[in-house]
Amino acid sequence: MARIADVNYSAAVLQWDQETYLPPNAANFRAGQLSSLSGLIHNLFTGEKTAAILKGLESNGTLTDHQKKNLELIKLEFEKQKKYTTEFVEQMSHAVSAAFNAWQLAKKENNFKLYAPHLEKLIGFKKKECELLGYEGHPYNAMLDLHEKKCTVAELDALFADVRKQLVPFVKKIFAAKQVDNAFFYRHYDHNKQWDFGLGLLQQMGFDFKRGRQDISSHPFTTTLSPDDVRVTTRINEKDLSEMIWSCIHEGGHALYEQGLLPEYYGMPLGEAISLGIHESQSRLWENNVGRSLAYWKGNFKHAAQYFPEELKDVTPEAFFKGMNRVEPSLIRTNSDELTYHFHVMIRYEIEKAIFEDKLKVDELPAYWNAKYKEYLNIDVPSDTQGVLQDVHWSHGSFGYFPTYSLGSFYAAQFYEQASKEIKDLPGKVEAGDLSELLAWLRAKVHVHGRFYTAQELCERITGEKLNFNHFMSYAQNKFGTIYDLK
């Protein structure tokens, strides 16, 4: 498994490079390289040697509980991967690379039609993948299971029904309240100073720069090449300070999870993250529950003011806190506030469901997207770049991924509430800039377990109950009720 991981992470280096430093004309060869490595990984994992090892271990009576869990999870993955042919794996990898390069160009040119044929081909592969994997109920369940094990359309429909029933009316109350000022975020902030400030925020969180690095990309992401090599990227906009701050803290949360996985399980399920929902809980916990809190900026505002004394000279920590939590309709998911963010996710969820129900064609996507934004957020989408082309996910073939963003936020609220009960004066420690105890709590509660538990099992183990949307609503009402003076 370690040997297979070596090849897998070698491919990850090429993917990371593709999104950061790849020369424009190198795209075709890179697609071929990734396709070949994907086929090699598939052959290594599904070959007779792996089958023989698994069969031999099944009758071994000396395995520990952790070894048994590794064996169980590897066998499940082996049986799943055997459903794919090497040819299919290589072809889909090539289609992903082509779609990603087409997406980059289409976004730059603000022209969805440049991307559409590549996306249509990739969706064809994903639909075929659903049939290869098999599913119960909705075909989209096969896609969801790739990112969040055992998650179903039925569960998500119920969860988003809660969002509509509780969160939507609450946001409408906020829209009717007096708006907070955030204009100071859109002054001119020097690129290099932003970069240095972001590095400081990562360091304060506990990101180990001897085991990772940060770079720039058009869409911030985290890539793991080993437990001792975790790469994050950020995005810097000199006319919007918030883009860098939330990119750094969000991706830093993902990276801390990866750096907290046990290196002795390299290549094994117990050395991997549980699910994308739990992964997202770590990034959203750091970004929202910590990074958008008043305590965090009571401590960190002085550092921001040192980097940007003129830009922030008329701003207080309290005003900075309120401004960063401004709730309003917006076009871009990654720049949206933490409440309307879930409307963005719902839109993508409904679109993906419709695609896999064969109710929505690729060439209909821009108009459908724009109509959904009008319905949920009452805003007009001015361009493809700010609309249907804004996310990288579909060009990666990552259908079923978006719902994990909302799941992660809801897990994060539940986890942070529990951490606040177990860590004495957590807000005081956050204000003092001491985040070490929170990181240690997350290491012990989440990171070290790898995939030993399912997401729901882990949630129950940490908080005493399965995922409960009411914890997020309670957090939202307390925080935003205060910011907007809601009675």
Of 243, 251, 287, 431, the catalytic one is 251
DSSP labels, 303-359: HHHHH-TTTTTT--HHHHHHHHT-----S-GGGS-TTTHHHHHHHHHHHHHHHHTT-
Instruction: Indicate the Cα dihedral angle 391, 392, 393, 396, nearest 10°.
Output: 160
Q: What is the Cα–Cα distance from 168 to 340, expressed in whole angstroms?
A: 8
Tokens 């309709």 found at: 329
Q: What is the Cα–Cα distance from 230 to 212, expressed in whole angstroms?
A: 4
Asked about 251 being catalytic, the answer comes back as: yes
Q: Is the dihedral of CA 435, 438, 441, 442 positive or negative?
A: negative
Give how far the C-alpha of residue 198 lies from the chain's centroid of Cα atoms, to the nearest Å: 19
Residue 337 structure tokens = 């506030």
DSSP labels, 148-197: STT--HHHHHHHHHHIIIIIHHHHHHHHHSPPPP-GGGGS---HHHHHHH
Catalytic residue IDs = 251
